[in-house]
């Protein structure tokens, strides 16, 4: 993230970067992402509820019936998420 702060890219893909983080380090990660989001767009693949809470949009795949995958999209901008 230090390199990213000095040379930000317009878009970044992060895959499971929060998986091994404990709560304190996940809070630090979220603060850094919030700082950088004004300059860059982030696409984060994650399972952490803490990281999901800062998202503007969530995308996922569900399988309500066997063998049929459905894409799910939820816009959280302006939503009251606790």
Count of C-beta atoms within a 10 Å radius of residue 30: 17
Q: What are phi and psi of 39, to 5 degrees?
A: -105, -20
* H or E segment and range at residue 51: helix 49-52
pLDDT of residue 82: 52
- Domains parsed from the chain with CATH numbers: 2-75 (3.40.50.300)
Is the model's pTM score more than 0.85? Answer: no
Q: Distance between CA 63 and CA 30 in Å, rounded?
A: 30
Structure tokens given for 74 = 């939820």
pLDDT of residue 69: 94
Q: What are phi and psi of 59, to 5 degrees?
A: -125, 140
> Consecutive sets of 10 residues in the chain, 82 residues long: mean pLDDT of each?
83 87 88 88 84 84 90 78 52
């Amino acid at each position: 993230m230090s390199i990213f702060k000095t040379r930000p890219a317009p878009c970044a893909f992060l895959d499971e970067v929060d998986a091994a983080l404990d709560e304190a380090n996940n809070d630090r990660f979220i603060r850094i992402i919030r700082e950088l989001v004004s300059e860059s767009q982030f696409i984060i693949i994650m399972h952490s509820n803490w990281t999901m809470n800062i998202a503007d949009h969530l995308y996922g795949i569900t399988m309500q019936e066997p063998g049929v995958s459905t894409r799910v999209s939820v816009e959280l901008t302006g939503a009251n998420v606790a």
